[in-house]
Structures are given as C-alpha cells and as structure tokens.
Structure 1
Amino acid sequence: MVKSHQRLPRRTDRIHSGGPVTIWLTQISLDLRHQAARRDIGDAAHAHRRVMSLVPDGLGAEARREAGVLYRLEQSRTETRFLVQTTRRPTDDKLPAGYGTVAVTSLDPLLKLLDTGLVVRYRLVANPTKRHGRTSPHQGKLAALTGTAADQWWSDRATRAGLALRTATTTSLPDLVGRKDDRPILHAARRFDGIAIVTAPDALRTAILEGIGRGKSHGCGMLSIVPAGSQ
C-alpha cells in the first residue's frame, strides 16, 4: 500500500528527469483507393481502432493512456494522413496491405530542445467544451464552445501548457463521430494554429505527452510544435 504522503511516478516525471521515456511519432499517408482508409477518415471510432493497432495488445482497460496514444487526421489537397503519437514503439504489421505508407520518428530530440524563450509553431485539433453550472437547466452537461469562447479556451490552456501565444488562427472542422458504450458521440472539433513562445518547458512537455482537452480517443488533443524556423 502506498502511504498518503507518497506519490506514484508518472511518465512525465521520467521525461522531466531525463528518464527513458521515448515518444514516437508515426505518420501514415493514406492511399484513399483503399476501402479501409476511406472508412477510417469518416468514422472516428474506426480511426481509433486503427491507430490502436499500432501498439501492443493486452494493455488493459486504459490501453490508450498506457500507450500514450494521441492522434489526429490531417487533410490537404495533396495528402491525407494520420499523425499518431505513442510512448510504445509502434509497429505497422496490423495495417491492411496497401493502406498507406508509414514513417516513424522519435520526438525526443525536439523535447530536449525545448527551453524558455524558444519561438515555436504549434497545431492542436481540440474539442473545446465547458460544463454547465448549477444555475443552468443543463447543469452538469458539457457544451461545445465556438467563436471567441473557443479561442479563450485555447488561450487559457496554452498558458497552462507553457506557451505564450503570439498568433492564433482557429479553423472549424467537421464534427468527429465516435462511439461510447455502443452510443454515438459527437466531438465538435477546432484546429488552432499559430506562433508561440515557450514559457515553461516542463509544462509544455507534459501537455505534449498527455494531450489537451477531451475527445482524445477520437482524434482530439494532440499538441504538435516545431521551432519557428523549421520547415
């Protein structure tokens, strides 16, 4: 039994102390001629199962958290891809043949580079929400935030994540449709892009590792940064 004054170590503790945690970034560039790829980009529940196939089985009821899985879908005129972040080394042997091309890199060099004053470019696809208070007829229920309320949500969380925002562009994305307990659930998704200055490197490492906000199982919450001078 753990005594009351003791605290169990977290993955972030090992990162802050220079421990052995490695964060992997997997890029899956999808071949949209493949039926499974087309299905996954339109169904967040299918996408969740697909990205979880990159990590080992048998991780228990909290498998996503245990493997540090965060991901998002990115679409442009020239490419559709999943970006998947894990703390377990990924393997692509469970992906269907012809599903897409896979590239894996370590984020450790980037995390070690973080320092106060570093200027970075960031991207976050998130599910900004708030819970109705006691005076609301919808007390306790979650409400999706839009407009300036969503922008303020990100500004507040960026500060907690060790970032001082210098620019911020918000893009509304299609709702992400997932499932929980065999019921469909919707995540109102917003993408935040811009420039920021690192104010608290350890807080930023924690935010990168643990994600931000709700909907992490369905493609929200993954914070990505690169030094502002990088391509």
Structure 2
Amino acid sequence: MFISRFRVNTARSGARRLLSSPQTLHAAVMSSFPGILPSDRAAPDAPRVLWRLDHRSRAEVLLYIVGPDRPDLTHLVEQAGWPAAAGPANPGWQTRPYAPFLDRLAAGDRWAFRLTANPVHTVRRKEGEPRKITAHLTPTHQMGWLLDERRQQRLGFRVCEKPAERRLLPEGTTHRKHPHPGDRYELTVGDTRSLSFTKSRGPENRQSGPVTVATATFEGRLEITDPDALRRALTQGIGRARAYGCGLLTLAPLARPTPRTP
C-alpha cells in the first residue's frame, strides 16, 4: 500500500474541470494505477483505491490517494499541477509506503484524524414502503453517525471525549431535550458539501440520471481499540460513495501542548 499527496493548481482550467466533477476526478485517480485495468474495477475482489480532497483555502487544495501500488500522477501534474516545475527530484507529488505506518498502530494509541464521509441512514416514510437511503444533513446527526458505538467498534477506534473542564456543560450537551454530542467529544464537522453530477455508464459513456452525494468532513481525536480493524478502515474506506472522494481516513500525530511560561 502507498499513500500519496498532490497539490492542485487551482488557477488552471484543467484543475477546475476536475474539481467540478467527482466522477471525472475519480477516473483521473484510477488512471494513476496502470496495473488496474478499467475492466477490473467492477470486480468484487478489485483493489481498493481511496481518495479525498482537502480544501484548506481557495488556493490550497490537496488530493490524498491511498492505493495498492505506487501511482503515476504525471497526467494530473500536466492537467492540474505545475508541470514546468516538475523534475526527477520533485515529480509534482509525494508518495510514501503505507505499510510501515500501518504496522506500528497499537491499541491505546491516540491520533488526530480527518475523514470526509457520506453519512446516511435508512428511513421509511410510509408504512409498507421499502426503506430509502437518506443523507444526514445536520451536524448533530452527522456526528451521531460517526459516534455510533457499533460503527466505531467495527472501525477499531473510539472518538476521544473532552476533559470535563473543557465542556460547556457538565454533561457535554447543549440542550436537554435535543442533546448535541459535539461538546462532549473531540470532534468537529465542517466543509459540508452537496455534490451533484451526471454519472456516465457503459463503454459508450451514456449519461444516466443526476447523482447527488452529501459529504461532511470530520476532524478530531481518536483512540485505537482494535488495530487490525482500524487498518482495514484506513485501506478499505469508511461508509458509502468511496468512488467520489468519501471514506478516506487519515491520521496525524497529536500536537504537543505548549509549555506554560512560569
């Protein structure tokens, strides 16, 4: 496994075209892996490729990719990077082996995390109707989706709770009747988006109906409870819409507290 980072040159027209369509960007990401043929992608045992866009600012957009092989992002550099600045020492992206990091994950370790996901649930509007997949649209429900105990158990981590002195209320909620989990946990939800695009299918790229994917980006702190389960989550993804930039969880060391001046 390898993890890669590519900075998008948002001033280029090719970058704007890629950023405007999750399906187009997905195709560009998959083209980075010459060993994965288009005919193999729909197979049940096809290698999993995950990607995520981090919009740090209007001029700073980072593309993260996790895949089974070392990717070749030359075409992305040419379309949406800085090709004139690329060279043997700096091809325009960074790639590192993922296995050494995955191997050292241990139960009890705490990490900062970031995840863009498609939080959904199933609802039945009328008696007798089949259940329908519906997106969570409010931060409270989106947090509840990630904080679900069974989901966290499957993923091999738990979101850390805030110390009592950092909570706004003793119980960590903002309303008695409608508890909000955000004040209790080291978790925030931001960069919510509704991605709408037309999906192409078949070898002739026939257009099907419009597709809408609601996404939310979670940031916070987690504690590892099951390293093997967490490794699966890091390499296989979390939730739905993984072909459209959802499901990639990344970890980073926790920032050390700044020592107080006596």
Q: Hey, what's the Cα distance between the residues in 2 that align with 1:103 and 1:212?
A: 24
2:156 pairs with one of 145, 151, 162: 162
- Structure 1 residue ranges, 4+ long, deviating more than 6 angstroms after superposition: none
Amino acid at match of 1:58: L
Amino acid at match of 2:99: D
Amino acid at match of 1:173: T
Other-structure match for 1:151: 143
Other-structure match for 2:54: 74
Task: Please tell me whether the aligned partners of residues 70 and 95 of structure 2 are also in contact (alpha carbons under 8 angstroms).
Answer: no
Cα displacement string for residues 125-171 of structure 1 (whole angstroms, at most 9, x for unaligned residues): 00011122485576332111133222111112233211111111111
Other-structure match for 1:19: none
SS of the residue corresponding to residue 175 of structure 1 reads: strand
Identity of aligned residues (%): 28
Relative distance call for 1:133 and 1:65 in structure 2 (3 A) is: farther
SS of the residue corresponding to residue 150 of structure 1 reads: helix
SS of the residue corresponding to residue 224 of structure 1 reads: strand
SS of the residue corresponding to residue 229 of structure 2 reads: helix
Q: CA RMSD in A?
A: 2.3
Select between 122-131 and 31-40 the one with higher mean Cα deviation.
31-40
Amino acid at match of 1:200: D
Cα displacement string for residues 175-220 of structure 1 (whole angstroms, at most 9, x for unaligned residues): 1234264222111101111011111101100111110111101010
Q: Hey, what's the Cα distance between the residues in 2 that align with 1:54 and 1:164?
A: 33
Other-structure match for 1:203: 229
Amino acid at match of 1:168: L
Query: Is 1:97–2:91 an aligned residue pair?
Result: no
Select between 53-62 and 204-213 the one with higher mean Cα deviation.
53-62
Amino acid at match of 1:53: S
Aligned length: 208
Amino acid at match of 2:8: L
TM-score by length of 2: 0.72
Q: Hey, what's the Cα distance between the residues in 1 that align with 2:247 and 2:13?
A: 27
Matches within 5 A, 1:1-231: 23-56=1-34, 57-58=36-37, 60-62=40-42, 66-77=46-57, 78-95=59-76, 97=78, 99-100=80-81, 101-133=92-124, 139-147=130-138, 148-156=140-148, 157-166=151-160, 167-178=186-197, 179=199, 181=201, 182-229=208-255
Amino acid at match of 2:52: R
Task: Please tell me whether the aligned partners of residues 72 and 84 of structure 1 are also in contact (alpha carbons under 8 angstroms).
Answer: yes
Q: Hey, what's the Cα distance between the residues in 2 that align with 1:25 and 1:95?
A: 16
Relative distance call for 1:136 and 1:89 in structure 2 (3 A) is: farther
Relative distance call for 1:118 and 1:37 in structure 2 (3 A) is: same
Select between 145-154 and 216-225 the one with higher mean Cα deviation.
145-154
Q: Hey, what's the Cα distance between the residues in 1 that align with 2:245 and 2:229?
A: 22
Q: Hey, what's the Cα distance between the residues in 2 that align with 1:93 and 1:65?
A: 27
Query: What residue ranges of structure 1 are gaps of 5+ in the alignment?
Result: 1-22
Task: Please tell me whether the aligned partners of residues 132 and 138 of structure 1 are also in contact (alpha carbons under 8 angstroms).
Answer: no
Q: Hey, what's the Cα distance between the residues in 2 that align with 1:72 and 1:138?
A: 35
